[in-house]
Chains A and B, each alone.
Chain A
Amino acid sequence: MRPILMKGHERPLTFLKYNRDGDLLFSCAKDLSPTVWFADNGERLGTYRGHNGAVWCCDVSRDSMLLITGSADQTAKLWNVQTGAQLFTFNFDSPTRAVDFGVGDKLAVITTDPFMELPSAIHIKRISRDPSEPCFVLLSASLLPAPATPLHLNMSRVAALDSSFPPSDSSLSSSLCNFFFSLISSASIIVSSRANPEGPQGRINRAVWGPLNKTIVSAGEDAVIRIWDSETGKLLKESDKEIGHKKTITSLSKSADGSHFLTGSLDKSAKLWDTRSLSLIKTYVTERPVNAVAMSPLLDHVVLGGGQDASAVTTTDHRAGNFSSGGEDGYVRLHHFDQDYFNIRI
C-alpha cells in the first residue's frame, strides 16, 4: 500500500511524535514550524509558529494539551496544542536538542548542545499548572553553580506571560481558560562535560525519563548511554564500552511502559536495553547507519530507519537497493500496515 504523503515541511524532517491517543501526529523539521496532523488521514491541522531555528525534537503531554519543542534557536517552547499559542519559552545559551516530558507532565528534560565554550548539558525544568503552587527549587543538587539566569528573572517573565494571556472568553476553549499556565522553571544543569570529565563528550542527541521520573537516560555523540539520578544529578550507570555502541547514537526510543528502550547508532546497529539495569538485551545489526528507531506498542517489533548521510549518498550506486533518503525531502510518509501484519505469528 502506498504511503500517504504529507506535505507541509520545506526542509528535512527531524522528529515525529504521536500523542497518547494516537490521533495526532506532531512533526518537527529544519524549517521553523512544528506541525500537527491528523494521524488517520494525514490532514494538516496546524503549525506552531514562533521558533527561529531548526526544530530538533518535541514531546506532547499525556492529555494532549501541552507540546514542548526544542530548537536550534537556543530555546525550548511550550505550546497549547489546540490553539497553537506559545505559552512559555525556556531560554538557553546554546541550541536545544532533545525534550521529554516526565510522568505526570510536570517535569521536562531538555538537553543543550555544546556551543562556543559551553559543553553539552541536560536541564530539568519544572512545569506547574497551578499558579498558587509554591515555587520551590526542585532540584537543589547541582554540579555547577546555579544557572546564570536568576530565578526572580524567570518569575518576572512568567508574570509577563500571564498578562499576555487573559482568560479567554471564548466558550469553546473553556477547557483552556481553566488551563492557566504559570510556569515556574527551576533548573539544574545536571551534567556537562566540563564540570564532569567523565560526562558526555560532544552532543547529547536524546535524553528521556526513566521509570517514575527517578532517572534520566541520555545518549549522544560519544556512543555511551548514561543513566542519571534526576534528583541529584549523579551518574548512576554507564553502558559498557565493549558491548555498547561504537559510534554516535542517533536515536533513542522507549517502550510503551518505559521499561526498556531502543538505541540506534551510526555503527550500523540498534540495541535494546533494560531501563532499570542498563543491561543489553539485544543487538540488531544492519548494513546501514541507523538514524531513527521506533518500537511497536503492540507487537514485539522494532523499526529501524537509516542510510548514509545525504552528503555521502552520491557515492552509492542507485542499485544499492534499500538506501533511502527518507525525511530529507521534507515529506512525512504515513504507512498503514496491512491487516496481515497484525496476524503475524512467529
Chain B
Amino acid sequence: MAEVMAMETASRLGIDLSNVDWDSIHLPPGEDCGILSDDEDLNEGDPLEFDGGFSNIVVVDNIPIVPTEKFEKLEGVVRKISSQMGVIKEEGLWIPIDPASQKTLGYCFVEFNTPQEAELAKEKLHNYKLDRAHIWAVNMFDDIEKFMNVPDEWAPPETKPYVPGENLQHWLTDEKARDQFVIRSGSDTEVLWNDARHLKPDPVYKRQFWTESFVQWSPLGTYLATVHRQGAAVWGGASFNRLMRYSHPQVKLIDFSPGERFLVTYSSHEPSNPRDTHRVVLNIFDVRTGKVMRDFKGSADEFAVGGAVSGVSWPVFRWGGGKEDKYFARIGKSVISVYETDTFTLIDKKSIKVENVMDISWSPTDPILALFVPELGGGNQPARVSLIQIPGKEELRQKNLFSVSDCKMYWQSSGEYLAVKVDRYTKTKKSTYTGFELFRIKERDIPIEVLELENKNDKIIAFAWEPKGHRFAVIHGDGPKPDISFYSMRSTHNSGRVSKLTTLKGKQANALYWSPAGRFILLAGLKGFNGQLEFYNVDELETMATSEHFMATDIEWDPTGRYVATSVTSVHEMENGFNIWSFNGKLLYRILKDHFFQFLWRPRPPSFLSPEKEEEIAKNLKKYSKKYEAEDQDVSLLLSEQDREKRKMLKEEWERWVLEWKRFHEEEKSDRQWLRDGEASDEEEEYEAKEVEVEEFLDVSEEVLFDFGQE
C-alpha cells in the first residue's frame, strides 16, 4: 500500500526518480541503503524506479493545427512561451506532422534541461490561453502512460487483511528501565542500551550504511528516521524493522511534528540557469500512512525567513499547539502563514500580515505564537514583540521596544514563561547592551517584567530555562572567563517578582545544559574551553563535580535526567568518541570511535504520572529507592566477582602459553645448537661477563733529542 502511494506521490510530483544515474553510484557489496530492503519487499520490486528518462519532457496538447507553411511560426510561438519556464534542450521541441494531411497534429513535446523545469512548465503552462480556441493542456510525458493504464471501469479497492504491527514502544518495557541511544561512526549506525550499572553499552541493533546522511529520533522516541537519496524512512519496534518510506528525491532535511504525526521533508535543487534561485520542495507526510498531506514548491527566496535574509532556515515550518500537532506556521516576507492540520490549509484561508516580521516562536504547549518585528522608519515606529492566539489570531499581549538591534525569544518548556532577550543600542549607537523582558503567560493579563544585568556591558553568552521549572540560567560577561547567574521567577516572599539566586564568578563555560528533570545543570565550556564540565545542583546552589572531556563538541542529557553523554564528533580529527556521566558528574564509561558523527538519546514520551504523584514519589524517594539500591549492590558484587574470575582465567591462560613455549624451546634446543655450529646455547646461565683489557698502541715514535749543552 505504501509503495503504491509512494509511487503515486513521486509521479504526481513528477520527480525524476529516473534521472538519477544509477550506474554512477557504487555501493559496497551487499549494501542496500535500507531502501531496497532485505525483507519481504524484495519481491514487490522497487516502485521507485521508472523505465526510461523522460521526466524532463512535457506533452503540450491543444496547440493550433497548422499546415507546413505556418509550421515555423508555430514552432517559434511554442518555443517562446515554453522557454520562459526553463532552458529547452537542443532539438528538444518536437512538433509531429501528420504525413497524410501534411499538417501538425495539435500537440507537441518539449524537452527541458531538468525535470524541475518540466515540472514548473506543467504547473504554469497548463490551461495557458493561446487564444480562445487553444487552451493548452500540459502533462508530464511520464504520466501519459499512467493515464492510459487507468481502467475504464472502477474496481473497488482490495481490502488487505489486517496484519498486527510490532509494539513500537517496546523499548519502554525494559525491565531495568534503561535508555537507548543511537550512534553513528564511520559507516556504522548502532542503537545501544545505556547499561550504566555494568558500565558499558549493550548493543541492540547495528547496521552498516543505514542512512546516507544522518539519523534522527522522532520527538517521542517511537521512530528512528534515516535519510536516503530517494527519500526518508522510519524504523522502529524491537527489531528495528522499516515501518514506512517517504519518497522525496534528494531529500536534505527532515523534521517531525512534536506529536510525531507528521514528517516534513525538504530538498533544494540546483537551477539549470545559474542566475535563477534554487528550487525548493517541501513535503509534509503523515508518518503512519506515508501519505503526502501537503506539498510546497517554490524558489528558495520564497522560503527565506524575514525577507532580507537569503537562504532557508530550518525548520521552515514551526509546529505549534503542543503535542496535538494542530498548527504549523511559516514566516514569509511581511507575512506569517499559519496552517491547520485538519485540512492542511491556511487558517481562515489567509495569512496573517505583519509588516517586516523577523522571527516567530510557538509556545511549546499552547497555540500561542510570539513574534518579533524590528524597528521601522528609522526608529519612528518602535520594535515590538507580541503574542498571538491561534486560531483566533487575536493579540494577547504586545510590548513596544526602543532602539532595538536584535531580539531572541526563549519559551520555558511548559509554556509558562517567555523570556525575550533584547539587544539595545547605547545612546551613541556604537555598542549594544542586553536586557530581558519576561512574560508570565499563565497569569492574568500576562504581566511583563524587565530584567537587566548588574553589569550593563556584559554580553550574554547563553540563556536556558530550567525544564518544567521556574528558574533560568544566564552566562554573561565581557572577559575571557564569564559569570553564570541563576534567577527564579518566584521570589522568596511570593511577590511575583523575578529574583536572583546566585552568581558564579569567572567560569570556563559557554553553554548550559539543564537536566530534563530540572534541578541539575551542566555548565560546559566547549570549543575554546576544550570541554570543561561543571555539574551544578541549583537546589542546593553547590557544585557537585568538575571534570573535563577534552575537545568535547556535543552534550546531551538522557531523557530521564539520570545520565549525560558528552561526545567528540568528527569535527576534530582526534579523540573521537563519547563519555557517559552520571547526573552528579561521575564518569561511568568511555567509548572511543573513529569518525564519530552523531550521538542521540532516544526520547521518551511524557510520563503518565500526574504532577501530584510525581511529587509524592520525590518526597518518599528513600522508600522507593531501597529496592534499587539493593539491586545495584548485587550487580556490583557480581561484577567484582566476574572481574576476579576473568583475571584468574587470563592469568592461567597466559601461564599455559608460557609453559608451552618453554617446552618447544627445550625441544628445539639441539636443533638450534646445530644451526649455530654447536655454539653452546641461548640460556642465560651460560652467559658470563668477562672483563677484557685491551691495550692499543696507536702510535710509537722515537725522537732523538739533541744535547744542546755540548755545544
Please list the residues of chain A having a beta carbon within 8 angstroms of any beta carbon in chain B: 62, 102-104, 106, 172, 211-213, 255, 257, 259-260, 274, 276, 281, 287, 300, 308, 312, 315-317, 319-321
Contacts and interface: CB of A to CB of B under 8 A. Distances in A.
Interface in B649-666: 654, 657, 661, 664-665
Interface stretch (B196-204, B249-257, B556-564, B668-676): B668-676
B573 A276 contact: no
Contacts of A287: 575, 592
B661 A259 contact: yes
Contact of A317 (B530, B664, B675): B530
B287 interface: no
Nearest to A281: B657
A157 to B, nearest CB: 26
B530 A104 contact: no
B574 A212 contact: no
B682 interface: yes
B657 A260 contact: yes
B676 A319 contact: no
B550 A62 contact: no
B677 interface: yes
B677 to A, nearest CB: 7
A319 B550 contact: yes
Nearest to B651: A346
Please provide the 4 A-B residue pairs with the shortest distance between their CB atoms, ordered closest to farther: A259-B661, A104-B675, A104-B676, A315-B573
Given A212-B671, A300-B654, A319-B530, A104 B677 contact: yes
24 contacts: A62-B676, A62-B679, A103-B672, A103-B675, A103-B676, A104-B677, A172-B694, A212-B668, A212-B671, A212-B672, A213-B675, A255-B661, A257-B661, A257-B665, A257-B682, A260-B657, A281-B654, A300-B654, A308-B574, A315-B574, A316-B573, A317-B530, A317-B551, A321-B550
Main secondary structure of the interface of B (DSSP, over half): loop
B555 to A, nearest CB: 19
B589 to A, nearest CB: 14
B696 interface: yes
A320 B661 contact: no
Contacts of A319: 530, 550
Given A211-B664, A260-B657, A276-B664, A320 B575 contact: yes
B180 to A, nearest CB: 25
Contacts of A274: 657
Contacts of B573: 308, 312, 315-316
B671 to A, nearest CB: 5
Interface of B: 530, 550-551, 572-575, 592, 654, 657, 661, 664-665, 668, 671-672, 675-677, 679, 682, 694, 696
A300 B572 CA distance: 36
A322 to B, nearest CB: 11
Contacts of B677: 104
B530 A316 contact: no
A321 B665 CA distance: 42
Nearest to A297: B684
A165 to B, nearest CB: 21
A139 to B, nearest CB: 16
Nearest to A320: B574
Contacts of A300: 654
User: Which among A62, A103, A287 has the greatest number of chain B C-beta atoms within 10 A?
Assistant: A103
Contact of B675 (A212, A276, A312, A321): A212
A169 B354 CA distance: 107
A259 B665 contact: yes
A286 to B, nearest CB: 10
A320 B575 CA distance: 9
Contacts of B664: 211, 259, 276
Contacts of B668: 211-212
Given A103-B675, A172-B694, A260-B657, 8 more contacts: A62-B676, A62-B679, A102-B675, A103-B672, A104-B675, A260-B661, A317-B551, A320-B575
Contacts of B679: 62
Contacts of A312: 573
Nearest to A106: B675
A82 to B, nearest CB: 11
A104 B664 CA distance: 18
A212 B682 CA distance: 13
B672 A316 contact: no
Contacts of B657: 260, 274, 281
A45 to B, nearest CB: 14
